[in-house]
Copies of this chain bind each other. A is one copy, B any other.
Amino acid sequence: MTRKEEIIKVAAELIREKGYVGLSMRDLAKAIGVKAASLYNHIPSKQAILSELILQLAEDFTSQIQGVAKEDSSSLDKLKKIVEHHLGLSLHYPNELAVLNNEWTHLNGEALQDFKFKRSQYEEELRQIINYGKTNNELKPLHTELVLFSMLSTLRNLNLWIKKRSSIPAEQLKNELVEVLLKGIS
């Protein structure tokens, strides 16, 4: 791991804890074991840490869903794959995901535009999968936006919840999550 990668990784952990504005370059440097000035040999600004962190992950999400969308399978199978991918990222990058969810508002300029574009791309792909499922009678004729919103709310909060309750094996968690999200609880 390069020093730059180390900076971004440690920053993800601390931004999650204190928020982007609440984390100072001095605190970040201390956690790594250098002085604040040394950070600037590897990154141009505090903003650049946030941008790189968030946009890398956003790109991962967008490219995954675009891959799934192209597949020749049912809407339910596509939705399952999307749930699985969210779960995988929540397990491997909980800090980065928390930062993406909660701190994207502190992005500026081009990075902010880029993030919003990727996010709306993601939502649009998911919307189309849901709509296709409705025409197909795989899904109930509910408001697409409500289904989209409900699914994304749960998926986006997975990382928060996994930390607290890791007693469920990953495979069982995946299956029950699909059941809860797609088939309901009652």
Contact = CB atoms under 8 A, between A and B. Distances in A.
A168 B183 CA distance: 23
Nearest to A145: B165
Interface residues of A, number: 39
Given A76-B186, A140-B186, A186-B138, A150 B180 contact: yes
Contacts of A180: 142, 146-147, 150, 184
Nearest to A138: B186
Contacts of A105: 17-19
A122 to B, nearest CB: 15
Interface in A12-47: 17-22
By secondary structure, the A interface counts as helix
Copies of this chain assembled into the complex: 2
A63 interface: no
A81 interface: no
A161 interface: yes
A62 to B, nearest CB: 19
B183 A19 contact: no
A185 interface: yes
A50 to B, nearest CB: 13
Interface stretch (A3-11, A65-73, A109-117, A171-179): A171-179
Interface string A143-166: 101110110011011000100010
Listed from nearest, the 3 A-B pairs whose CB atoms lie closest are A184-B184, A153-B157, A21-B21
